[in-house]
């Protein structure tokens, strides 16, 4: 169709679209490109915009990710480091945040290397490829509240700090409780407010006024977090952390850690270990490059931030497979879950200001964008599979949704995806700090569904431990691996 248009027709279209850009022909404009070329260029830009608008969300996201990965891959060969001060295993939220903070503080003083086996995650669903990224402050433990508050502050400054727009949607979080859990929710809200996270307890009457689309039959109270609660673009946060860390000089290398090499240090004695056994320090990482080549990286300090693979990697360091302190495994497992996107044009469905609702039975839902799309799923599960699958939205999720939202029409599911996250089976909380046996191994893993929002605080905490030998901002010492050795769990009641 375009080919058969005359130049005048093209000009008219262009004039309609962009009047300000059409300039009269004159000798003064001799430095301007030829008018036909200029018009075609403008049309091409318009077509590109139309295409971007209609490209489905996930495709757009993959395009961005692919570009990022191309540049990561290009740098591998010339950037490969055989020695470094700090080696970080895992280049997602936590690993990238640790690299960002270490380099921001120490700049040229520390050579920081991040190894990541799969930068793009094109075949797995993670924070890069899914539109997920909830930020909330509704926790019981002060440590989690403080980390969440810092996450919110960091995200507020993401534009200046990282140069990215994390597109924060400040629609809040609403947790519902039955009579049985009402007191716990009240206590949690009290603690949250003491620490500066503003959450409000809502009676059923108030809930009814604020959220008339909710069915409240079995609800005793709700807790709403307005400030610093909402959702953000997880990919932008992650890519921002990575690129800023690179700008500060961190080396991101695509490779998979497959083993460690140890160094015997007979002069080191580890507290709690038999004096007859000699200490073997972690010394080198053996990594497999994307082309299959095996290389090694010698490091002074290693940070384990490998999410769901952390326990497997810990085993390579003999954690959980040897004797003494090393017989205690890293209690992190992989949990799988499903999320669904549905569309509803039911007039009774919740409106644009809908918060992310966390229901009594673990059901959650929130709006996504302005076109009647919602994201939903079940967050709670006591085993690694929670019985959800791509095909059982209708049987498993929909009944709970219809029970909570007074919708008349059945919504249509338009997408479903499986994803996994790391889970600490010991007490559900993150593990941050040095390992009790290895004086050069720091663990930063096990944050359940919160790894991304907590990553700015966790990364900063790891940098404090490595550079200052102590926590300087938020005291996270209760979250160290030591609590597993002495069997002192600290439970959080709020994980989704």
Ligand X SMILES: Cc1cc2nc3c(=O)[nH]c(=O)nc-3n(C[C@H](O)[C@H](O)[C@H](O)COP(=O)(O)OP(=O)(O)OC[C@H]3O[C@@H](n4cnc5c(N)ncnc54)[C@H](O)[C@@H]3O)c2cc1C
Of residues 92 and 359, the one with the C-beta less far from ligand X? 92
Write the DSSP assignment of 107-138 as a string of letters: GGG--EEEEES-SS-TTS-STTTSS--EE---
The CB-of-55 to ligand X minimum distance in angstroms stands at 21
Position 340 contacts ligand X (CB under 6 A): no
At its nearest, how many Å lie between ligand X and the CB of residue 354? 16
Nearer to ligand X by Cβ, of 214 and 332: the residue is 332
Q: Which one, 50 or 258, has the nearer CB to ligand X?
A: 258
Choices 116-124, 212-220, 275-283, 394-402; region in contact with ligand X by CB under 6 A: 116-124
193 by DSSP, 3-state: which?
helix
Residue of 231, 176, 175, 225 lying closest to 199 (CA atoms): 225
Does 76 sit near ligand X (CB under 6 A)? no
Among 69, 99, 130, 176, binds ligand X (CB under 6 A): 130
Q: Is 89 among the residues that bind ligand X (CB under 6 A)?
A: yes
Nearer to ligand X among residue 199 and residue 453 (C-beta):
453
Q: Identify the residue among 115, 202, 250, 431 touching ligand X (CB under 6 A).
A: 115
- Per-residue binder mask for ligand X (CB under 6 A), 302-321, x = binder: ---xxxxx---x--------
The answer to whether residue 452 forms part of the interface with ligand X (CB under 6 A) is: yes
DSSP state string for 195-223: TT--EEEE-HHHHHHH-TTB--TT--EEE
Q: Which of 332, 296, 291 is nearest to 313 (CA)?
A: 332
- Stretch in the footprint of ligand X (CB under 6 A) among 37-45, 58-66, 131-139, 187-195: 131-139
| Least gap, CB of 196 to ligand X (angstroms) | 19
CA 270 to CA 314: how far, in whole Å?
A: 18
CA neighbours within 13 Å on the CB side: how many for 176? 25
Pick one of 110, 133, 303, 350: the residue that binds ligand X (CB under 6 A).
Answer: 133
449 is an interface residue for ligand X by CB under 6 A: yes
Nearest residue (beta carbon) to ligand X: 307
- Could you say which of 113, 147, 245, 257 contacts ligand X (CB under 6 A)? 257
| 281 to 164, 256, 275: CA distances (angstroms) | 39, 21, 16
Give the whole-angstrom CA distance, residue 3 versus residue 5.
6
Tell me whether residue 221 or residue 464 sits nearer to ligand X (CB atom).
Answer: 464
Residue 358 within binding range of ligand X, rule CB under 6 A: no
Residue 245 as a binder of ligand X (CB under 6 A): the answer is no
Residue tagged 């075949």 (tokens):
123
Instruction: Give the torsion through C-alpha atoms of 69, 70, 71, 73, to 10 deg.
Output: 80
Q: Tell me if 450 contacts ligand X by CB under 6 A.
A: yes
Q: Is 177 in the site for ligand X (CB under 6 A)?
A: no
d(CA 285, CA 257): 7
d(CA 228, CA 275): 51
Question: Distance of alpha carbon 266 from its chain centroid, rounded?
Answer: 41
Residues 93-112 that bind ligand X (CB under 6 A): 93-95
Q: Which backbone phi and psi does 442 adopt, to 5 degrees? A: -115, 135
Interface with ligand X (CB under 6 A): 89-95, 115-118, 125-127, 130, 132-134, 256-257, 305-309, 313, 339, 419, 421-422, 445, 447, 449-453
């Amino acid at each position: 169709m375009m080919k058969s248009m005359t130049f005048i027709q093209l000009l008219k279209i262009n004039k309609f679209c962009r009047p300000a850009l059409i300039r009269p022909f004159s000798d003064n404009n001799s430095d301007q490109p030829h008018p036909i070329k200029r018009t075609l260029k403008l049309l091409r830009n318009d077509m590109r915009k139309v295409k971007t608008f209609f490209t489905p969300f996930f495709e757009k996201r993959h395009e961005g990710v692919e570009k990022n990965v191309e540049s990561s891959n290009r740098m591998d060969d010339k950037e490969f480091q055989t020695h470094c001060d700090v080696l970080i295993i895992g280049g997602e939220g936590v690993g990238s945040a640790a690299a960002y903070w270490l380099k921001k503080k120490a700049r040229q003083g520390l050579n920081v290397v991040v190894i990541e086996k799969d930068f793009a995650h094109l075949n797995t669903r993670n924070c890069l490829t899914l539109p997920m990224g909830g930020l909330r402050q509704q926790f019981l433990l002060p440590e989690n509240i403080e980390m969440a508050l810092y996450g919110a502050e960091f995200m507020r400054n993401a534009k200046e700090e990282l140069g990215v727009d994390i597109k924060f949607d400040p629609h809040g979080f609403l947790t519902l409780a039955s009579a049985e859990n009402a007191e716990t929710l009240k206590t949690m809200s009290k603690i949250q407010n003491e620490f500066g996270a503003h959450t409000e307890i809502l009676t059923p009457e108030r809930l009814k006024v604020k959220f008339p689309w909710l069915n409240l039959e079995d609800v005793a109270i709700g807790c709403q977090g307005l400030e610093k609660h909402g959702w953000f673009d997880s990919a932008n946060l992650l890519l921002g952390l990575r690129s800023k860390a690179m700008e500060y000089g961190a080396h991101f290398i695509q490779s998979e850690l497959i083993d460690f090499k140890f160094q015997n240090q007979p002069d080191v004695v580890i507290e709690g270990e038999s004096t007859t056994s000699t200490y073997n320090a972690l010394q080198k990482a053996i990594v497999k490059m994307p082309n299959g080549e095996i290389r090694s990286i010698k490091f002074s300090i290693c940070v384990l931030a490998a999410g769901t693979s952390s326990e497997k990697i810990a085993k390579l360091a003999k954690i959980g497979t040897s004797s003494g302190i090393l017989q205690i495994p890293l209690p992190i497992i992989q949990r799988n879950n499903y999320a669904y996107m549905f569309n509803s044009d039911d007039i009774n469905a919740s409106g644009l200001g809908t918060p992310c609702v966390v229901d009594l039975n673990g059901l959650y839902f929130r709006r996504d964008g302005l076109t009647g799309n919602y994201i939903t799923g079940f967050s709670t599960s006591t085993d690694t599979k929670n019985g959800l699958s791509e095909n059982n939205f209708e049987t498993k999720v929909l009944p709970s949704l219809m029970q909570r939202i007074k919708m008349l029409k059945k919504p249509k599911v338009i997408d479903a995806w499986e994803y996994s996250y790391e889970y600490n089976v010991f007490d559900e909380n993150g593990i941050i700090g040095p390992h009790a046996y290895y004086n050069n191994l720091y663990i930063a893993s096990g944050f359940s569904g919160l790894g991304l929002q907590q990553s700015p605080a966790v990364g900063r905490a790891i940098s404090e431990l490595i550079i200052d030998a102590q926590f300087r901002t938020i005291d996270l010492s209760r979250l160290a691996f030591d609590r597993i050795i002495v069997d002192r769990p600290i439970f959080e009641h709020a994980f989704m």
